[in-house]
Amino acid sequence: MARLPRLVIPHQPHHIIQRGNDRQVIFHAPEDYDAFLRWMREAAKQFHVLIHAYVLMPNHLHLLATPADDTGLGRMMQWIGRYYVPYFNRKYERSGTLWQGRYKATVIDSERYFMVCSCYIELNPVRAGLVIAPEEYPWSSYMHHSGARVDPIITDHALYWSLGNTPFEREAAYKNLVEQGVTITETQTISEATQKGWALGSPKFKIQLEKAASRRVGPMKRGRPRKAAETDKLKGV
């Protein structure tokens, strides 16, 4: 099935994935990660995108972000690439594209999937076998959410604040969520929705989103169209 055109909804969280071309490494050294994060922070501010969670993996990256308008995400990702790709190509004496096509994204139903998606993002290094625990990986937002350091890139979402009345309560509650982990089903659901551009949420959320966007936000239901099936039934087919 063809992937849906990208859907961006202002003031709604989105999960974003950007991969290296042919899954090649896009971060070789610590200074590469740091350079990308500096440009991401600047771009997010410039294009009014709130970054709630992130992880930079050796050959791809994940973001959980809320744009203020329908162009901010695209402009932010384009701006970062405009600076990072030439930097990377000069440093490693290469040429050509670095990314595997355009970034992929899905609109997130906050109440159902925001915290799950945040944990999913920050547990990526653990699932990949790069570290034993998320706090061992330096290039993600987990250290911010767990209270180990303040990350100036991150804007805490209201749902994170709702975890407790004090920073200590919020950090402890978030650690507990991460320790509980993300199920295989949740991992597959998040990954599939993002890769295919489907909205990630409850049936009610998707119906509301389709009405607001005047377009389909998920896969078409399998089987014959209802009208055609009813017509065939009348004909005795």
Question: What does the pLDDT profile of the chain (237 residues) look like in tens digits?
Answer: 455 567 888 999 999 999 999 889 999 999 999 999 999 999 999 999 999 999 999 999 999 999 999 999 999 999 999 999 999 999 999 998 999 988 999 999 988 899 999 999 999 999 999 999 999 999 999 999 999 999 999 999 999 999 999 999 999 999 999 999 999 999 999 998 888 888 888 888 777 777 776 667 666 665 554 554 444 444 443
CA distance 35 to 32: 5
Q: In whole angstroms, how far apart are CA 206 and each of 54, 163, 186?
A: 25, 26, 17
Q: What pLDDT, on a 0 to 100 scale, did the predictor assign at position 228?
A: 47
Structure tokens at 129: 């076998």
Fold that domain 14-235 belongs to in CATH: Alpha-Beta Plaits (3.30.70)
CA distance 179 to 219: 32
Q: What pLDDT, on a 0 to 100 scale, did the predictor assign at position 209?
A: 77
Q: What pLDDT, on a 0 to 100 scale, did the predictor assign at position 229?
A: 46
CA distance 58 to 95: 19
Query: CB-based contacts of 204: which residues, under 8 Å, 6+ apart?
Result: none
Q: What pLDDT, on a 0 to 100 scale, did the predictor assign at position 144?
A: 97
Q: What pLDDT, on a 0 to 100 scale, did the predictor assign at position 236?
A: 44
Helix ranges (DSSP H) in the chain: 30-46, 72-91, 110-122, 124-127, 142-145, 158-161, 167-180, 184-196, 203-213, 226-235
Predicted structure pTM score: 0.87
